[in-house]
Amino acid sequence: EYDRPIENSSAADCEVLDELLPAFAFGLLDETEKRQVEKLLPNCPDRAGELADYQAMATRMLHSATPIEPAPDLLLRLLQATAPATTTNRTHNNIAAALPIKRQRQLPRVKPGILAGIAAAFILVIVTGWILAQTVQLSQTVESQETLLSLFASNQVVSFELTDPSDTPTNARAVVRCNAGAKVAVLHAEDFPVTDENDFEVWLWVDQVTRISGGFLEVDANGSGTLVFEAPEVMGIYQYVSITPIPAPGETVKPVVKGNLYPTLPDQQG
């Protein structure tokens, strides 16, 4: 039926387009239906604007879908919601269709099967984003585990204690475990001050002037946190380490804790 030669524009052709355009924009048609849409479009110029609207909607949906874990029965509920209407609803629709109306540019009626396909495609986007996020998180976890195993497989791991250097010290403390010949290190903090952000920056000091960021430590509501980081150079070149709150622009902050690493400095300033 759809492959008949098209010579003139007709209302029937445009009605066929009304049914196929949404699925065409979302890439849900087979090759035969795609060719049918492409053949009919030149004969229904006013449908080109509707196609552009559907394509824009598809693009927005692809870019706005937040990677979240979908409910197990989400697809079933959406398919049920897009199932064909009951006899009573069809009767009301027929009565409404019989009333004289002035045709304006409106979204055409969409078959329930096509609407279900669009819903399924949107769900697929959400699920795919969630799976990708889970895969990245798992990959990072495995990488951290492998890094820790390689670190502690060495017999040369040393622990360094970091304490509050202020005149009235708090209970804040941390431990750095590392190997002088390796770049990776593990830091564990306890009793850190709890703030709105709960984020702190780890600083590795080459000397009393030159420091390098070792990463950001996030603590929980109890002030505890663990960070596995990789330094730019092997840990043996750093003289000491300090951990500070993340300052606002132009603000100077004092370290929460600090401590010597391999060389011991008589006077630490940061």
197-227: pLDDT as tens digits: 778 999 999 988 899 999 999 999 899 998 8
pLDDT at position 190: 93
Residues 6+ apart with CB under 8 A from 263: 239
Residue 145 is which amino acid?
A: Q
**Residue 50: its pLDDT value, please?**
77
pLDDT for res 54? 72
What is the reported pTM? 0.45
Quick check: 241 and 214 in contact, CB under 8 A?
A: yes
Domain ranges of the chain: 11-135, 157-260
pLDDT at 269: 44
List of the chain residues with pLDDT < 70: 1-9, 56-155, 263-270
CB–CB of 239/261 below 8 Å? yes
Give me 264's structure tokens. 């011991």
Tell me the C-alpha distance between 259 and 240, whole Å: 6
| CATH number given to 157-260 | 2.60.40
Alpha-carbon separation of residue 217 from 221, 223, 226 (angstroms):
13, 11, 7
pLDDT at 242 (0 to 100): 95
Q: How far apart are CA 20 and CA 16, in angstroms?
A: 6
